[in-house]
Structure 1
Amino acid sequence: MMGDASTWAAWVAAVTSLATLIVTTLVGGRREHRRWARESLTDAFVAFLEASWAHSDIVRYTPAEQPLDIEAAQACYAEMRSQLTRLRLLASGDVLRAGEDLLRCQRAAHEARPGSARQEALLTAARSRRVVVAAAKREMGLI
């Protein structure tokens, strides 16, 4: 009888250990995946917004008598598009709509004539950027 009870106890301990291992692996894996997704989302938001600010700076600080640094402005715009693609994979529709709107605003600022038209376009882009920041905070559960 003793051998049977100890064998049975060993089997119960092995099954319990296996179940604990499986549950720990699943929960830990999900936690790691959520952490990776959150970090990736944060990186994409930061890169998208940094490119937007850089683009605005390039467009804003171009004197009316000098041509716009097209290459630098296009590089920032391309970075925004690239990061928006990452956001499409990681974020909700609300975030994407806000990001797409900001991208259009940056394009409008780029194409606006120097002077009041460009300044107004930059103000519109700044307002749109604030909408993206708010959407990012909501997406990440910060507000």
Structure 2
Amino acid sequence: MDASGLAAWAAAVTSAATLVVTTWVGGRRERHRWLREALTEAFVAFLASSWRHSDAARGEASDAQHAALAAEYEEMRQQLTRLRLLAGADVVKAGEALVRAHRAVQEAGVGAVRDQALVRASQGRRTVLAAAQKLMGLW
């Protein structure tokens, strides 16, 4: 094989190696981007339903309030399932605690018991938020 043939072969091998490395790195980068976006969407939906649940619980007890609480509770459970698929154990544990806190809000009557349950739900949201920020490397 002469020098030009060797140079062509080396260029082809180098090009193939570059293509493989670029594809691998690009694929990992794209996967990380997708995961970050999916986590962000799941966290936002989960926390938004938590806020709506707490807001609905602040009104007078009525059939409409019970329906709103049930709907938001179900939404939180669905979003928690997404978090179970995408997030780590710390996030899932905090999310489960928040869902239990909201269940306590639903089961509490009006008055001081419900107010205390709403405080626990608020604390639970802060715990979920901190776990989410840690998982996503935001602090």
Aligned to 1:95: 91
User: Partners in 2 of 1:112 and 1:136 — Cα distance?
Assistant: 28
Q: TM-score w.r.t. structure 1 length? A: 0.93
SS at match of 2:13: helix
Which residue among 19, 37, 53 is the counterpart of 1:21?
19
Aligned to 1:137: 133
5+ long unaligned stretches in structure 2: none
Q: TM-score w.r.t. structure 2 length? A: 0.96
Aligned to 2:124: 128
Aligned to 2:54: 56
State which drifts further: 3-12 or 75-84.
3-12
User: Partners in 2 of 1:81 and 1:8 — Cα distance?
Assistant: 62
Instruction: Give the C-alpha shift of residue 111 in structure 1.
Output: 1.0
Cα RMSD for the two superposed structures: 1.2
SS at match of 1:132: helix
Spell out structure 1 runs of 4+ moving beyond 4 A: none
| Residues 69-88 of structure 1 mapped to structure 2, 5 A cutoff | 69-88=65-84
Instruction: Give the C-alpha shift of residue 67 in structure 1.
Output: 4.4
State the identity %: 59
Aligned positions, number: 139
5+ long unaligned stretches in structure 1: none
Q: Deviations over 1:42-83 (max 9, x none)?
A: 1100100000000010011x225x445222211111111111
User: Partners in 2 of 1:30 and 1:128 — Cα distance?
Assistant: 33
Aligned to 1:106: 102
